[in-house]
Structure 1
Amino acid sequence: MSKLGNIGARLYRGEVGYDFIGKRKIWYGISILITITAIVGLAVRGLNMGIEFSGGAVFTAKTSVSTSEVQHQAESATGGHQAVVQKLGGDSVRIQISGLDTKQALPVQEELAKDLNVPVKDVNTQLVGPSWGEEIANKAWLGLGIFMVLVVLYLAIAFEWRMALAALIALIHDLTITVGVYALVGFEVTPGTVIGLLTILGYSLYDTVVVFDSLKEASKDLTKQTRFTYSEIANRSINSTLVRSINTTVVALLPVAGLLFVGGGFLGAGMLNDISLALFVGLAAGAYSSIFIATPLVADLKNREPQIKALAKRVKAKRAAAAAKEASQEDTEDSAPAPADAEDGAAVVGPRHQPASRNRGRGRPSGKRR
């Protein structure tokens, strides 16, 4: 944990970092591939709409018969309608059959009671009309549209329209992937699924807004300096919040994974599957899009501005001048003569000094030396 904290501090200070912006075309390609796969899965397989949306009947009864046998008996009793059977606790089953109306439900209830060897009154029957599910779907679409509009307006006011557009594209990316996974996995779409989809929108925006806030702060008075380009500032913003984004995503995914794999997989709770799968896929896609999609898109949009283009040219020119100056200094140092060394036999270059003995005796009285 101390190493992770040290890495986070170095990322925040800009001492180390990964070039997310420079490799943005790779991330765009991966996202496009995943999105196309999700759309193809949605078009080919379609969504497995729950009984709340398609209408039908739900039968609940206590029995020790296996779910596969109950499913076979239910489909035989309805004359070919597909039945979805879930285990409730240790001795109860929930049988979901779409497309049944009130007249068809009573004979099916009697047939199921006979096949399961239980009294008719012990088979609880609940009818769901398709109009109720349609109303839920319409309200969900309305809520989604209002949410999108409010998000775009808020981000445009708090940050700028480029960030609002990038966040909107990231949200659509996350929703498309989540719905595509539902189609590929074949999980049933219920009101719990709608709740999960609406919930992940907030989680998806959380990391994106954190990075955008860091980018907004770091890009103040950007055009007054010549050290960094906008893309480099955006890359530093991603790296400075990277560990925080990873930590919050992992902490959020752990309990959701418990709901999905333990609650849905081992306990067989259908509603937990509906909510947890949407949350799990949406959280993972939201963390990915905030780092690899939203901020690189903002950098691409900003780099089209004349001021940002001029800044990039100034930064490039300054760095080229600094590199040329450094290369010139290195060439000067390499071509300068080495200092002479007497031990190597090199001649000493410099003014010659006449010996003082030639002037010795001038100005002295004549006479013999002692």
Structure 2
Amino acid sequence: MKLDFHKDAGKDWTRLTGEAACHPAGDERRRVAIVLDEKVISSPQVDPSVGCQAGLPSGGTQITGSFSAKEARDLALLIKGGALPVPVEIVEQRTVGPTLGAAAIDASAQAALIGAAATALFITFVYRLFGALAAVALAAYGVISYAALVGLGVTLTLPGLAGFVLAIGMAVDANVLVFERAREECQDRPARSLRSALTTGFQKAFSAVADSNITTLLAAGLLFFLGSGPVKGFGVTLAIGVVASMFSALVIARALTEIAAGSRFVSDYRGVNGIARPGSVRTWLTRKDPQLFRKPVRWLVVSTALVAVAVAGIVVRGVDLGVEFTGGRLVEYSTSRPVDVETARSTLADAGFGDAEVTTAGDGDISVRTGKLDNDGEHTLREALATEGGETTKVRDELIGPSLGDELRRNALIALGVAVFVQLAYLAMRFRWTFAVASVVGMVHDVVIVVGAFAWLGRPVDGIFLAALLTVIGYSVNDSVVVFDRVRELWAGNRKTPLATIARRAVLQTVPRTVNTGMGALFILVALAVLGGDSLADFALALLIGIVVGTWSSVFTAVPGALVLERTTGAPPPVPGKASRRARAPRRDPLDNGARV
């Protein structure tokens, strides 16, 4: 390994090696120690050919020995790097309050509880006793998820809360899928027992539940390993929530409902169990039988027009990037009267600073972080605070950089891109490449429309919006998977039927699930929007728009897109599964022991 010295360092090296050369060969004092952070990383001996006080040439030297090429490279990097650990000196230490104040957190928790209770009541109203049992399983999901978060020491941030909300929706969706499949079994075969219909419902819903949860878990894992900051937090809570939701739906809810289905009272009284009757939505669709996909291109034109309106909003109005992306100005004030964070937020919002982030700092000071703010704007901001806090003194004023910097944004985009690609590959493997591409197109459709809606509304695109957008992507993919799972099942059993007819049947059969799942999620989001305070208003608004648009795209964008793509491929229809080929005779009722009298 060759060392080159700069300027006076070469002279010092010559002097040092000359002094070491005065000692005999083999003597420890003939060695020159190379020390890094008070540790000797190498101690080569001066060559015997070097004379005392002569030293090695000042321009450079060589270190030879019985080390490998890798060891030589590592040693070169250590010498070249120098003292890597840099001492850190504390210049300033401050205590700051949370971005979401105590009042906002309490309001959000209250809104979440009210929304969850409304969702439980809605499920109970639709599915009667089985819905109430599903609500019990949903409560168990909440306990399991919270215990996992506490056990792992996860810090719950707003993106983490978004992952939690998405997992709640998937837990509700799994139960709704099972109950709707059981309703179909009761409608198709009225003579079969309730327990048999419920068991078949679990079996037929399993593939849709598994595929939607696996795609979500793949995305959550990639967001965790490749992302950073809030994206990583979203991936952690989403993964925990998905695993807990699958356990609550497929284990706890199944155990409770099968025990109830074994009761003669529950089985005999159709109005009690909740699945022996088809439901009002299914009855209405069966009676109307709308012809949805005679011309699928028309639906694609409507979706394209919606995307064009959203893009126009992005181009004309522009995207108002929040302070997390752009940086801005941080001003801290001391007031003569104490002012709580929520009051300060409300006061600044009334003064035209609705996008400012307000927290506490130090001993009761108010810290305001906002985007571009000139001196006149700062004066207006200070006067607004003075109306509540009395005499207001500026104690700190500085420019700040973005908390979501270039590297964090780049990592988030890379993680999201890889996650979408992996989901595309998985869906192509499990379904067909046409279905996978149509699902991703529907997801992009939803993302663009949500961003465009915020552009038209003039709402900021910040960390809260990022959390909501990740949740919208999860809902969109989940909806498309459920619809295409039914298309695959029906097409495999009716291979000679036109795909447009199959798609129409699949959509009509899954609409009750879509409506009931969407309503369950809307209760929570409306509660967050109305009761959660200003801090979560944009979060709930983005999710409300995303769920409505995602429901539309899973039916009127993804399915027509798949129909158009299928016209370009000559691939045959899917082959029926082994279970479908194995038994064409009706399955024996679980209560039938085979005896005949």
Q: TM-score, normalised by structure 2?
A: 0.42
Shift of 1:273: 2.6
2:540 equivalent to 1:268: no
- In 2, the alpha carbon distance for the partners of 1:241 and 1:260 equals 28
1:45 alignment partner AA: R
- In 2, the alpha carbon distance for the partners of 1:155 and 1:69 equals 45
Residues 159/286 of structure 1: CA separation in 2 closer, same or farther (3 Å cut): same
Partner of 2:329, secondary structure, is: strand
Partner of 1:220, secondary structure, is: helix
- In 1, the alpha carbon distance for the partners of 2:520 and 2:492 equals 32
Residues 306/139 of structure 1: CA separation in 2 closer, same or farther (3 Å cut): closer
Partner of 1:57, secondary structure, is: strand
Output one character per residue of 1:247-281: Cα deviation in whole Å (capped at 9) or x when no partner: 10111122112222433xxx332xx1332222111
Output one character per residue of 1:220-252: Cα deviation in whole Å (capped at 9) or x when no partner: 1544x4xx3111011101111111011101111
Name the counterpart of 2:318. Answer: 46
Shift of 1:148: 1.0
Name the counterpart of 2:510. Answer: 241
Is the contact between residue 358 and residue 367 of structure 2 (CA under 8 Å) also seen in structure 1?
Answer: yes
Name the counterpart of 1:67. Answer: 347
Aligned positions of 1:8-27 closer than 5 A:
8-10=281-283, 17-27=289-299
Q: Where do 5+ consecutive residues of structure 1 fail to align?
A: 73-81, 310-370
- In 1, the alpha carbon distance for the partners of 2:349 and 2:557 equals 48
1:247 alignment partner AA: N
2:420 equivalent to 1:112: no
Partner of 1:187, secondary structure, is: coil
1:201 alignment partner AA: I
Residues 94/70 of structure 1: CA separation in 2 closer, same or farther (3 Å cut): farther
- In 1, the alpha carbon distance for the partners of 2:567 and 2:541 equals 38
Is the contact between residue 178 and residue 282 of structure 1 (CA under 8 Å) also seen in structure 2?
Answer: yes
Output one character per residue of 1:22-44: Cα deviation in whole Å (capped at 9) or x when no partner: 25333222212211110000001
Partner of 2:492, secondary structure, is: coil
Residues 84/212 of structure 1: CA separation in 2 closer, same or farther (3 Å cut): closer
- In 2, the alpha carbon distance for the partners of 1:218 and 1:229 equals 11
1:40 alignment partner AA: A
- In 2, the alpha carbon distance for the partners of 1:255 and 1:174 equals 20
Name the counterpart of 1:314. Answer: none
Is the contact between residue 347 and residue 384 of structure 2 (CA under 8 Å) also seen in structure 1?
Answer: no
Name the counterpart of 1:180. Answer: 452
1:278 to 542, 550, 563: 542
**Alignment RMSD (CA, Å):** 3.9
Is the contact between residue 438 and residue 559 of structure 2 (CA under 8 Å) also seen in structure 1?
Answer: yes
Residues 46/232 of structure 1: CA separation in 2 closer, same or farther (3 Å cut): same
Residues 199/125 of structure 1: CA separation in 2 closer, same or farther (3 Å cut): farther
- In 1, the alpha carbon distance for the partners of 2:433 and 2:514 equals 23
Name the counterpart of 1:362. Answer: none
2:513 alignment partner AA: R
Aligned positions of 1:163-174 closer than 5 A:
163-174=435-446
Q: TM-score, normalised by structure 1?
A: 0.65
Which deviates further from its counterpart, 1-10 or 148-157? Answer: 1-10
Residues 214/208 of structure 1: CA separation in 2 closer, same or farther (3 Å cut): same
Residues 15/299 of structure 1: CA separation in 2 closer, same or farther (3 Å cut): farther
Residues 114/182 of structure 1: CA separation in 2 closer, same or farther (3 Å cut): closer
Shift of 1:113: 8.2
Partner of 2:534, secondary structure, is: coil
Q: Which has the larger radius of gyration?
A: 1
Residues 279/52 of structure 1: CA separation in 2 closer, same or farther (3 Å cut): same
Name the counterpart of 1:292. Answer: 556
More RCO (CA 8 Å, sep 6+): 1
Partner of 2:293, secondary structure, is: coil
Output one character per residue of 1:9-56: Cα deviation in whole Å (capped at 9) or x when no partner: 5589x6752222125333222212211110000001111111111112
1:303 alignment partner AA: R
2:98 equivalent to 1:98: no
Partner of 1:130, secondary structure, is: coil
Residues 160/92 of structure 1: CA separation in 2 closer, same or farther (3 Å cut): farther
Shift of 1:130: 2.9
Query: In percent, how many aligned pairs have the same letter?
Result: 28
2:391 alignment partner AA: V
Report how many aligned residue pairs link the two structures.
285
Name the counterpart of 1:344. Answer: none
Aligned positions of 1:1-370 closer than 5 A:
5-10=278-283, 17-59=289-331, 67=347, 71=351, 84-85=355-356, 95-99=368-372, 112=382, 116=386, 117-118=390-391, 120=393, 128-130=400-402, 132-220=404-492, 222-223=494-495, 225=496, 228-263=497-532, 267-269=533-535, 272-306=536-570
- In 2, the alpha carbon distance for the partners of 1:69 and 1:161 equals 49
Output one character per residue of 1:287-307: Cα deviation in whole Å (capped at 9) or x when no partner: 110111111221222234457
Shift of 1:282: 1.2
Shift of 1:57: 2.6
Partner of 2:548, secondary structure, is: helix
Partner of 2:370, secondary structure, is: strand
Residues 166/113 of structure 1: CA separation in 2 closer, same or farther (3 Å cut): same
Name the counterpart of 1:367. Answer: none
Which deviates further from its counterpart, 174-183 or 288-297? Answer: 288-297
Is the contact between residue 140 and residue 194 of structure 1 (CA under 8 Å) also seen in structure 2?
Answer: no
Is the contact between residue 11 and residue 240 of structure 1 (CA under 8 Å) also seen in structure 2?
Answer: no
Is the contact between residue 46 and residue 183 of structure 1 (CA under 8 Å) also seen in structure 2?
Answer: yes
- In 2, the alpha carbon distance for the partners of 1:93 and 1:289 equals 44
Shift of 1:59: 4.0
1:141 alignment partner AA: L
Output one character per residue of 1:306-343: Cα deviation in whole Å (capped at 9) or x when no partner: 5779xxxxxxxxxxxxxxxxxxxxxxxxxxxxxxxxxx
- In 1, the alpha carbon distance for the partners of 2:434 and 2:294 equals 19
Is the contact between residue 300 and residue 560 of structure 2 (CA under 8 Å) also seen in structure 1?
Answer: no
